Amino acid sequence: MAINIVTFLVCFSVASFVISSNARRVLDSKNVDRNNGGSNFTHVCDPSRFSDLGLDVSTFGFCDSKLSYDDRAKDLVDRMTLAEKVKQLGNSAKGVPRLGLPKYEWWSEALHGVSNVGPGTYFDDLIPGATSFPTVILTTAAFNESLWKQIGQAVSTEARAMYNLGRAGLTYWSPNVNVVRDPRWGRATETPGEDPYVVGVYASNYVRGLQDVEGTENATDLNSRPLKVSSCCKHYVAYDVDNWLGVDRYHFDARVTEQDMAETFLKPFEMCIKDGDVSSVMCSYNRVNGIPTCADPKLLKETIRGDWDLHGYIVSDCDSLEVMVNGHKWLGDTKEDAAAQALKAGYSMLIALGMDLDCGVYYTNFTQNSVRQGKVKEVEIDRSLKNLYVVLMRLGFFDGNPTFKSLGKKDVCSKQHIELATEAAREGIVLLKNVNETLPLKSKKIKKLAVVGPHANATAAMIGNYAGIPCQFTSPLDAFSSYGEVKYEMGCDGVACANDSLIFPAMKAAKHADATIIFAGLDLTVEAESLDRVDLLLPGYQTQFINQVAQVSKGPVILVIMSAGGVDISFAKQNDNINAILWAGYPGEEGGRAIADVAFGHYNPGGRLPLTWYEAGYVDMLPMTSMKLRPIDSLGYPGRTYKFYNGSTVYPFGYGLSYTQFNYTLRSAQRSLDVKLRKSQHCRDIEYKDSEYTPPCPSVLIDDLECNHEFGFGVEVKNVGKRDGSEVIIVYSKPPNGIAATHAKQVIGFKRVFVKAGKSETVNFMFNACKSLGLVNYNAYNLLTSGRHTISIGDDVVSFPIQVNIKDFLPSGIHAIMVGEDHGISFPLQINFETR
């Protein structure tokens, strides 16, 4: 089955998996010039290329650069027969030799570096590897927008260089922007965490880094805006169950309320399209409320293309159409039905606006028969092909792009990119515990180190999934060996730690060391695509191993956790023998160096957790398949994510320590907003808790407002410690007290600022009231509420109120104000309105 092949590619896409050098070339390119690192293949519409094919380029309108991309794409599609058209609708587009159109492989990946997952990209002797950055969950912990964009720029430079060398395509199905709703989800490593706003900000920055061509970022015609490479936000939508206790993504029906859909699941995709101008969206395997996402007209046509105005194409997750037929058994569809359903997932003036590209073979194998059986119009195929070819034209596939022509071998695995990967890991690492300033270690005092644990000599584990072949590895063992004499012991037979026979040698090493660094955690055998967790504990004997080593250690003990999802390490948090704890995610090819730099004080950690770390008992309270974010009191289910969960945690969202201390002083703040309604705008009711005060005008529909109301503040951040350091300022808004069933707080902004010891930096924030103070009601209305909102920084280290006054429209004239039940006191109030 094709599904099993895809799963194999994903689960085993670690550094050791290499696509053969005989793999399909992305283009029908000529020989590569190995001396200058360039390729003799230029672009589709190169006149000499057409001449070599016995064709005259001047006779083909799709090669006329004077025409618009839309006109050129139409000319190309109009020249094709139906049989030729359908062969271009799969990820392995066959090309049309008689038109000079080469083959093209759409499927490449670049989640945290150029990957070899997917047939569009491969490594060989010429390009043996590419820079492998930390996995997304750790990079997100840096809370640094400029870093996220820089990584995207570096990855796209390497991708474009590999394209020039005939080893990669131009279309990359990254990033993953699904929200981590449940801590058991196996794909947390790929995502930017649990907050939909943070996920959206990460996505838009990374996409901009991948796609933007310098100088064209603000082009007015987005359908012709040049692209460096094409990015794809996935998996649309409400996809966060892979394989949990027999429930898998190929059969799962996500039952989602409209409130949760608008508030959480859709938001990152909306930001990815509106703010990032992404050129592709991938629909997911699962159903949402009974309908496969790849065949849902509301999700595809009404939302992606209508409300958000996607400038690009929609692609299926690989073999999703087969999943519709054989997994979901959707409407009893035949293969031809499934192809038609996906193409017709939405109409505009009788033209299809559904799924354009099939990662798989259903479109290519069954769409022609679907047309002949009258199940889909050929014009619907035409529209999809036009969407695809316009994106390729924007990429320079047809005309070339001189800006990137010089990129080659020298631009892959450059020193600059390797250093950026190291910096990303440093910035993301989170200091969770540091008793009596154990860290940073002092190299003058620490001469003998015990480096122990299943991740002490980690290499492939550090690069997670959707990874290619890294330029190099610096393991923790390699890095710490440069600081002193190291005694290395595994302590466990891998992450599973299935027996305790190796614990004693690790204890022996710790007894004689000046400091002991324990490397523990998870890996892709525990949390991965197609593999959700069933608990939040360290596997096997790892807990016993850590406690026993810590108990006998001569010097301070530092525990380093490598994982994506949170782990209940309450035992270590409370163990006085464990002096410090670092979370390092999966830190990429230079992860060992980054961890050692932090441990020895060459870098002051400033990362913050992008996920809540729940206690182990949380997973016993509710099934992973319950999609609601809010608590379900009738079933005893707690809420999900920091926004709706109020129970105890191991570590909360946004947690992280530093080697220095910061003080905050509010320097300026706007504390009120007046929103005046016009005659056509109306107050909306909102549910308040019993006995709570309800304002006269409780809220207004945000869609009815111009939303030009802004508020801002400045905060001075002073480093009162002795070390330079970076501070992450996370800003939350809290709704007025008394509103029922809403979030406790929500992230509305963040900035990372570097402050020298003893110095101060003033950081200014400006927010749009509709985006930052709004809430989604149970009926899915997006509302701006009256009352006293609260703006808080971090864990309420600084907070201030902002009063929103919504002034309802009242007719001019004299109104009577009466006091008391019998109106014993009354006086007139003249209300005058200016015409607006």
Q: pLDDT at position 24, please?
A: 34
Task: Assess whether pLDDT exceeds 80 at residue 463.
Answer: yes
Q: Are residues 716 and 628 in the same domain?
A: no
118 Rama sector, left if φ>0, alpha if ψ -120 to 50, beta otherwise: left
Q: pLDDT at position 777, please?
A: 97
R_g over Cα of the chain: 28
Q: pLDDT at position 5, please?
A: 32
**Contact (CB, 8 A) for 66 and 421:** no
Q: What is the pLDDT of residues 652-710, one digit of tens each?
A: 999 999 999 999 999 999 999 999 999 999 999 999 998 889 999 999 999 999 999 99
The vertex-622 CA angle with 619 and 628, nearest 5°, equals: 120
In terms of Cβ atoms closer than 10 Å to its own Cβ (0-12, 13-18, 19+), residue 710 is middle
**Contact (CB, 8 A) for 442 and 173:** no
In terms of Cβ atoms closer than 10 Å to its own Cβ (0-12, 13-18, 19+), residue 488 is buried
Q: Are residues 647 and 669 in the same domain?
A: no
Q: pLDDT at position 16, please?
A: 34
Q: Which residue, among 811, 765, 827, 771, has the nearest Cα to 792 in the 3D structure?
A: 765
Q: Are residues 702 and 725 in the same domain?
A: yes
Task: Assess whether pLDDT exceeds 80 at residue 153.
Answer: yes
Q: Are residues 580 and 677 in the same domain?
A: no
Mean pLDDT of the chain: 92
Q: Are residues 509 and 633 in the same domain?
A: yes
Three-state SS for 164-213 is HCCCCCCEECCCECCCCCCCCCCCHHHCCCCCHHHHHHHHHHHHHHHHCC
Q: Are residues 684 and 794 in the same domain?
A: yes
- Percent of the chain at pLDDT > 90 equals 89
CA distance 671 to 578: 45
Q: Are residues 575 and 704 in the same domain?
A: no
CA distance 214 to 193: 29
- Asked, as a colleague might, if the bond just before 237 is cis with ω within 30 of 0, I would say yes
**Contact (CB, 8 A) for 449 and 486:** yes
Decide the pairing of beta strands 448-452 and 485-489.
parallel
What is the amino acid identity at position 662? F
Other Cβ atoms closer than 10 A to 513: 25
Domain final residue pick, 614, 629, 651: 651
Task: Assess whether pLDDT exceeds 60 at residue 583.
Answer: yes
- Percent of the chain at pLDDT > 70 equals 91
**Contact (CB, 8 A) for 436 and 145:** no
* Residue 567 forms part of a structural domain: yes
Q: Tokens 């995709």 — which residue?
A: 269
**Contact (CB, 8 A) for 659 and 599:** no
* Residue 265 forms part of a structural domain: no
CA dist list (Å): 686 to 68, 662, 693, 781, 786: 49, 39, 12, 10, 10
Length of the chain: 836
Other Cβ atoms closer than 10 A to 556: 21
696 phi/psi in degrees, rounded to 5: -60, -40
The residue with greater pLDDT, 810 or 102, is 102
485 phi/psi in degrees, rounded to 5: -75, 125
Q: Are residues 643 and 755 in the same domain?
A: no
The vertex-777 CA angle with 776 and 778, nearest 5°, equals: 125
* Residue 55 forms part of a structural domain: no
Q: Read off the tokens for 367.
A: 């769409």
pLDDT confidence tier of residue 808, bands split at 50, 70 and 90: confident
Q: Are residues 591 and 675 in the same domain?
A: no
Q: What is the pLDDT of residues 547-568, one digit of tens each?
A: 999 999 999 999 999 999 999 9
**Contact (CB, 8 A) for 63 and 57:** yes
Q: Which residue, among 562, 581, 557, has the nearest Cα to 570 in the 3D structure?
A: 581
pLDDT confidence tier of residue 816, bands split at 50, 70 and 90: very low
Q: What is the pLDDT of residues 708-717, one digit of tens each?
A: 999 999 999 9
> CATH no. for residue 786?
2.60.40.10
Q: pLDDT at position 39, please?
A: 54
Q: What is the pLDDT of residues 738-756, one digit of tens each?
A: 999 999 999 999 999 999 9
Q: Which residue, among 163, 180, 164, 129, has the nearest Cα to 39 in the 3D structure?
A: 164
Q: What is the pLDDT of residues 16-47, one digit of tens each?
A: 333 333 333 444 433 444 444 545 567 999 99
* String of DSSP letters for 562-574: E-SS----HHHHH
Q: What is the mean pLDDT of residues 77-104?
A: 98
pLDDT confidence tier of residue 73, bands split at 50, 70 and 90: very high
Q: What is the rounded end-to-end Cα distance, in angstroms, of the chain?
A: 65
Q: Which domain holds residue 770?
A: 662-807
pLDDT confidence tier of residue 58, bands split at 50, 70 and 90: very high
741 phi/psi in degrees, rounded to 5: 55, 45
Number of domains into which the chain is organized: 2
Q: pLDDT at position 217, please?
A: 87
pLDDT confidence tier of residue 218, bands split at 50, 70 and 90: confident
For 82-116, b where at least 16 C-beta lie within 10 A, e where not — what string? Answer: eebbbbbbbbbbbbbeebbbbbbbbbbbbbbbbbb
Q: Which residue, among 587, 583, 575, 578, has the nearest Cα to 606 in the 3D structure?
A: 583
* Residue 315 forms part of a structural domain: no
CA distance 401 to 408: 14
CA distance 88 to 392: 13
What is the amino acid identity at position 92? S
* Residue 464 forms part of a structural domain: yes
Q: Are residues 614 and 726 in the same domain?
A: no
**Contact (CB, 8 A) for 439 and 599:** yes
DSSP H helices, 58-186, are 69-78, 82-86, 136-141, 145-164
CA dist list (Å): 296 to 140, 292, 354, 395, 653: 31, 6, 8, 29, 34
**Contact (CB, 8 A) for 503 and 548:** yes
Q: Tokens 């999700």 — which residue?
A: 299
Q: Are residues 766 and 802 in the same domain?
A: yes
**Contact (CB, 8 A) for 775 and 783:** yes
DSSP class of 101: B
DSSP class of 109: -
pLDDT confidence tier of residue 584, bands split at 50, 70 and 90: very high
The vertex-280 CA angle with 279 and 283, nearest 5°, equals: 165
Which H/E stretch holds residue 818? strand 813-819
Q: What is the mean pLDDT of residues 219-229?
A: 94
Q: Read off the tokens for 519.
A: 């490397």
Q: Are residues 436 and 556 in the same domain?
A: yes
Other Cβ atoms closer than 10 A to 796: 11
CA distance 63 to 263: 44
Q: What is the pLDDT of residues 300-334, one digit of tens each?
A: 999 999 999 999 999 999 999 999 999 999 999 99
What is the amino acid identity at position 687? E
DSSP class of 219: -
Q: pLDDT at position 3, please?
A: 39
Q: pLDDT at position 635, please?
A: 98
Provide the CA 651 distance to its chain's centre, in angstroms.
Answer: 21
> CATH no. for residue 537?
3.40.50.1700
* String of DSSP letters for 612-656: -EE-GGGGGTS-TT---SS-BGGGTBPP-HHHH--S-EEE-TT--
**Contact (CB, 8 A) for 189 and 144:** no
CA distance 188 to 654: 16
What is the amino acid identity at position 174? S
Residues near 528 by beta carbon (within 8 Å), at least 6 away in sequence:
10, 11, 186, 187, 189, 465
3-state class of 88 per DSSP? coil
What is the amino acid identity at position 70? D
Domain final residue pick, 602, 631, 651: 651
Q: What is the pLDDT of residues 335-366, one digit of tens each?
A: 999 999 999 874 433 344 689 999 999 999 99
| Secondary-structure breakdown of the chain: helix, strand, coil percentages, each rounded to the nearest 5 | 30, 20, 50
Task: Assess whether pLDDT exceeds 60 at residue 829.
Answer: no
CA distance 766 to 751: 12
* Residue 97 forms part of a structural domain: no
* Residue 385 forms part of a structural domain: no
Name the residues annotated as catalytic. Answer: 317
Which H/E stretch holds residue 725? strand 725-734
Domain final residue pick, 630, 651, 672: 651
**Contact (CB, 8 A) for 525 and 565:** no
**Contact (CB, 8 A) for 835 and 815:** no
* Residue 454 forms part of a structural domain: yes
DSSP H helices, 403-522, are 415-428, 476-481, 503-511
Q: Strands, E, within 2-87: which ranges?
A: 32-33, 38-39
